[in-house]
Amino acid sequence: MATPFSPQVRNPTHRNPWEPQTEHSNGHPRDANLHSNGTYSPTASSSNLPPSIDSDKNPAAISLRSFALGATSSASLLTTLYLCPLFTPNQPTTPPPPTPLWRLPLFLLLLSLFHYLEYHTTALSNPSAATVSAFLLSSNGKAYNIAHGLAFVEAFVHHHFFPGYTNGIFPPALRTAWLVLGAGLLVVGQSTRTTAMLHAGTNFNHLVQSKKKEGHVLVTGGVYRYLRHPSYFGFFWWGLGTQVVLGNAVCLVGYAVVLWRFFRRRIEKEETLLIDFFGIDYVRYRDRTRVGIPFIP
Say if residues 3 and 14 touch (Cβ distance below 8 Å).
Answer: no
Within-domain flag for 1: no
pLDDT band at 190 (very low <50, low <70, confident <90, very high): very high
Within-domain flag for 46: no
Q: What is the mean pLDDT of the segment spanning 137-150?
A: 92
Q: What is the mean pLDDT of the segment spanning 167-190?
A: 86
Domain that holds residue 150: 59-205+214-288
Q: Give the pLDDT of residue 69.
A: 98
Within-domain flag for 125: yes
Q: Give the pLDDT of residue 175.
A: 81
Q: What is the mean pLDDT of the segment spanning 259-265?
A: 97
Q: Which residue has the higher pLDDT, 59 or 165?
A: 59
Q: Give the pLDDT of residue 189.
A: 99
> How confident is the model over 8-37, as pLDDT tens digits?
444 444 445 444 444 444 555 554 555 555
Query: What CATH number corresponds to the domain at position 193?
Result: 1.20.120.1630
90-99, 202-211, 260-269 — which is least confidently predicted? 90-99
8-12, 239-243, 267-271 — which is least confidently predicted? 8-12
Q: Give the pLDDT of residue 85.
A: 75
Please state, for a pLDDT cut of 70, what percent of the chain lies above it.
Answer: 75
Domain count of the fold of the chain:
1
Within-domain flag for 261: yes
Tell me the backbone φ, ψ of residue 156, rounded to 5 degrees.
-65, -45
Say if residues 258 and 231 touch (Cβ distance below 8 Å).
Answer: no
Q: Give the pLDDT of residue 55.
A: 76
Q: Give the pLDDT of residue 9.
A: 43
Q: Give the pLDDT of residue 98.
A: 43
DSSP 1: -
Within-domain flag for 47: no
Q: Give the pLDDT of residue 99.
A: 45
Q: What is the mean pLDDT of the segment spanning 142-155?
A: 94
Nearest to 80 by CA among 238, 244, 245, 193: 245
- 42 pLDDT higher than 60: no
Q: What is the mean pLDDT of the segment spanning 64-87?
A: 92
Please state, for a pLDDT cut of 90, what percent of the chain lies above it.
Answer: 61
Give the angle 280-281-282 at the CA atoms, nearest 5°.
90
Within-domain flag for 272: yes
Within-domain flag for 40: no
Complete DSSP assignment for 144-163: HHHHHHHHHHHHHHHHHH-T
Rounded Cα distance between 129 and 53, Å, is 17
Q: Give the pLDDT of residue 20.
A: 47
Say if residues 42 and 23 touch (Cβ distance below 8 Å).
Answer: no
Average pLDDT, the chain: 83
Within-domain flag for 14: no
Q: Give the pLDDT of residue 182.
A: 96
> How confident is the model over 118-139, as pLDDT tens digits?
999 999 999 999 999 999 998 8
- Per-residue exposure over 177-204, b if at least 16 CB sit within 10 Å of its own CB, e if not: ebbeebeebbeebbebbbbbbbbbeebb
DSSP 129: G
Q: What's at 212, amino acid-wise?
A: K
